[in-house]
Chain A
């Protein structure tokens, strides 16, 4: 086991913790670990992150179900819908240059972060005015 392997375990631990708490599936964390930390190209990083996501999501998903965190109906619908989207997306991603792919993904994340921050603010306001959120 090399230093690189040890760092991969450490990176996996952080990404796993995030994905258990935040549910981002690790993908958003795995990919930058590999592209920034280990100089993987975008396609290799995404492919490898997918391989790591399968067991991570299985263990995380089962733990969440046992903890009572999951609404199983909606989760299964999203899984089915996402499945169709993911197959299309993966087929498309192969033909799109990595740089464009990364930028589009980044812009989408920024937009989403902004909307979620607004959501957190309205939750805070609801809590202050005594409404149950």
Chain B
């Protein structure tokens, strides 16, 4: 969603990043029960998720507050860098 906005719609990186996080809310809420109920056994580890959430909620709040201080070009490069690293990992050692 972020590249769609930045590359084709010309939205600034800051708005694109924030928009996509808001757009993920309904998507994640809808997709969760599909993963949970339509599998042979539930494919969600709620114990692990709980501890992940403790960290991620603190992290996401800090990140969202810091966003306005990061220049747009650097933000685009950071998004590209994260996608490069995760993409390489998934292709080479999925």
Contacts and interface: CB of A to CB of B under 8 A. Distances in A.
Interface string B47-81: 01101111111111111111110101101111111
Interface residues of A, number: 99
A78 B9 CA distance: 12
Contact of A61 (B6, B22, B81): B22
A46 to B, nearest CB: 7
A10 B84 CA distance: 22
Contacts of B79: 22-24, 116
A87 B30 contact: yes
Given A20-B21, A23-B19, A25-B24, 4 more contacts: A1-B51, A20-B59, A20-B63, A75-B18
Interface string A32-67: 111010101011101111111111111111011101
The prevalent SS among residues of A at the interface is helix
A107 interface: yes
B94 A60 contact: no
A40 B49 CA distance: 12
Interface of B: 1-3, 5-7, 9, 11, 14-32, 34-36, 38-39, 42-46, 48-49, 51-68, 70, 72-73, 75-84, 86-94
A83 B91 contact: no
Per DSSP, chain B at the interface is: helix
Contacts of B73: 120, 123-124, 127, 133
Point out which of A24, A68, A105, A116 has the most chain B C-beta atoms below 10 A from its C-beta.
A116
Q: Which of B72, B79, B83 has the most CB of A within 10 A?
A: B83
A23 B18 contact: yes
A116 B7 contact: yes
- Residue among B23, B29, B62, B75 facing the most chain A CB atoms (10 A cut-off): B23
25 contacts: A8-B52, A12-B53, A16-B61, A19-B56, A20-B67, A22-B2, A22-B82, A32-B89, A36-B89, A43-B39, A51-B49, A51-B53, A64-B64, A64-B67, A67-B67, A72-B22, A78-B19, A79-B22, A83-B26, A83-B30, A85-B27, A87-B34, A103-B94, A106-B89, A119-B7
